[in-house]
A = this chain, B = another copy of it.
């Protein structure tokens, strides 16, 4: 059984590092600054429209690496399998994970597997860790937003959260909503080339959505943010689903979108470059950064009012990633 599982990993993740079968993998160090990021993935259900826990575990961690402006190089993966998980399901997940890693150009070079008893897990949990290198001259961090900066989003919000919720609850929305799960590092590379030295913050709005991330950035940079509701891209079917479910899309998770805070002078070039990339086709400026001693995120609503976009209280939807 253990050997069977090992073989599935080696077969699909196949690369020189794994074939060496050491308890660790060796790689040539890059020059300069490197980044590391790790994420445990516990999403339920394991398979959802637009992805599964395998592809998500690759995208989620790659995106955290990419949000430092880094080029991801390698991944590691640790699996916690619940006894009774059908081998066919595991293999389907591993195949999807291998495909996502290959497409991203980031091999899974080391890993681990543990099996726990039934009722001590939920099919499979996957923790991935990503290593990347930050190009010279790139300085992106959560505390670098400045008054006067612009806030950009790379595309429509809420797709992942609503897709997972719909599949979890067996909801039928007429049109099928699909997760946006995708690796964003190539979009980031395009953005860095289009606006060198002008991007201050990058963050992917996953758990807690756009609202959580913008509040964190406002706190860490000690600034305020003004959003314009009508500028925020959202698909009609996602908007309708949110209305039906009583959800605010600003709090719904995304897995293939990024928020960018940049110099106002960079917006035109950036949006042009982003919209030329498949993952940035619907990029929009959605707000601006302002001096604000209270570090609030506020939104000018479609009706002309203004409301505070507060920090999410608790988790809207547990196990969304």
Q: What is the interface of chain A, defined by CB distance below 8 A to chain B?
A: 1-2, 20-42, 64-65, 67-68, 70, 74, 76-80, 109-117, 119-122, 125, 127, 129-134, 141-143, 203-204, 216, 220, 314-315, 318-319
Q: How far is the CA of A133 from the CA of B34 in the complex (A)?
A: 13
The chain B residue with its CB closest to the CB of A39 is: B112
Say whether, besides A38-B129, A109-B36, A64 and B23 are in contact (CB < 8 Å): yes
B121–A24 touching, CB < 8 Å: no
Give min CB distance, A82 to chain B, whole Å: 9
Give min CB distance, A204 to chain B, whole Å: 8
Give min CB distance, A262 to chain B, whole Å: 17
Chain B residues, Cβ within 8 Å of A134: 26
Chain B residues, Cβ within 8 Å of A79: 40
The chain B residue with its CB closest to the CB of A23 is: B64
Contact for A26 among B35, B115, B204, B314, CB less than 8 A: B35
Chain B residues, Cβ within 8 Å of A122: 116, 120-121
A29–B33 touching, CB < 8 Å: yes
Chain B residues, Cβ within 8 Å of A142: 20-22
The 15 listed contacts between A and B (C-beta, < 8 Å) are A23-B37, A23-B67, A24-B35, A26-B34, A26-B134, A27-B34, A36-B76, A38-B76, A38-B77, A40-B127, A41-B114, A42-B120, A112-B127, A114-B319, A115-B318
